[in-house]
Copies of this chain bind each other. A is one copy, B any other.
């Protein structure tokens, strides 16, 4: 076990470094909006996690940089003072080089720890896996945040020319039907789904599903463009009240990163500014937009339970469940029956955010491989657009 844990540690930590390969030093320090963190902060914060929840269990561990405890704590009230989130972009120090040094120090100590025969008495597999999954979550955020940072720059910097691929034409949607009311069991199942899940995927429990159908594929840019051109952003009847208010106050006319040029719509991507590709799954839209598009289509969004059961049961007939776009669901982010948050600081991870957010299922092009999971519950406020989110439609059946 320890060996595979060591491998996993090396693999995950190394992937963070790979993500940074195309970056200039200056790219690491910008916070382009309060939701965005500088890349340098992600690198240090994920390291802080291992230092705080693993290395500090060692009786003789001395942090080399005690100030980092405050600087790179995020939202863990139980761990102490935090540097304010919206001020992360005000820090020029520690430098990027110093942060890489901090990572190296912690990695060295972690690798020593992982090699110790008594390791499990010092830090549990559960905590280690949480740390690795936490770093993977931040790897996705690093990409989404870099996209936002670059999008603010009129020079249209390119993160990687190969970050966006061409798409083939898509077929008509096929509807995967679930024609009868049924009870299904939902949530993480260790024997089938692997060794790790977040607390919000438990307890496994039974839900009642109504007759419904779910689309085999995601909504494309071309389909979404029909909504835009049909006046979707001008007609309040498609929108939730809060969504319509946001359309007005933010002057939304299209998904985030879309720009109307003289020759049509362009989209800013990690590969720079490119014409909107009709066949690609639509991306970077809010729950409000996903919901309005669904209403305009005469459909609705799936619940997270419909999604989980359909993906579990449909094999290859369902496309892009993972690795393309997070899929907004109709479900509010709420605890599963009998959910209890873990004790201590790690218990602050998920439960306290269960208010005012919608669940997204699947994963995206930005999700590191190996991080996706059938029972995975991502969540964001309904106005959020900077993640790689898209739409899978559903509908009621009689």
Report which A residues bind B (CB closer than 8 A).
Answer: 24-30, 32, 40, 67, 70-71, 75, 77-78, 83, 87, 89-96, 149-150, 152-155, 157, 181, 183, 205-208, 210, 236-237, 239-244, 287-288, 330, 332, 334, 337-338, 352-356, 382, 396
Contacts and interface: CB of A to CB of B under 8 A. Distances in A.
A40 B27 CA distance: 14
Nearest to A336: B210
SS class, residues of chain A in contact with chain B:
mixed
Contacts of A90: 30, 32, 149, 152-153
Copy total for this chain:
4
A334 B329 CA distance: 12
A382 B396 contact: no
A50 B150 CA distance: 28
A154 B70 contact: yes
A79 B95 CA distance: 36
24 contacts: A25-B25, A25-B26, A26-B40, A26-B92, A26-B95, A29-B29, A32-B90, A70-B154, A71-B154, A75-B241, A77-B237, A77-B244, A78-B237, A87-B152, A90-B153, A91-B152, A92-B149, A92-B150, A205-B210, A206-B208, A207-B208, A240-B355, A241-B352, A242-B355
Given A93-B153, A149-B92, A152-B87, A337 B210 contact: yes
Q: Which 4 A-B pairs have the closest CB atoms?
A: A332-B332, A26-B92, A90-B152, A210-B337
Contacts of A30: 29, 89-92
A148 to B, nearest CB: 9
Given A91-B155, A241-B353, 5 more contacts: A75-B241, A92-B149, A206-B208, A241-B355, A242-B353
A89 B92 contact: no
A397 to B, nearest CB: 9
Contact of A352 (B24, B71, B75, B239): B239
A78 B242 CA distance: 16
A95 B14 CA distance: 26
Contact of A183 (B157, B208, B287, B356): B208
A365 B251 CA distance: 42
Contacts of A183: 208
Contacts of A26: 25-26, 28-29, 40, 92-93, 95-96
A149 B396 CA distance: 45
B239 A155 contact: no
A166 B91 CA distance: 29
Contact of A77 (B78, B93, B236, B243): B236
A67 to B, nearest CB: 6
B153 A92 contact: yes
A152 B90 CA distance: 7
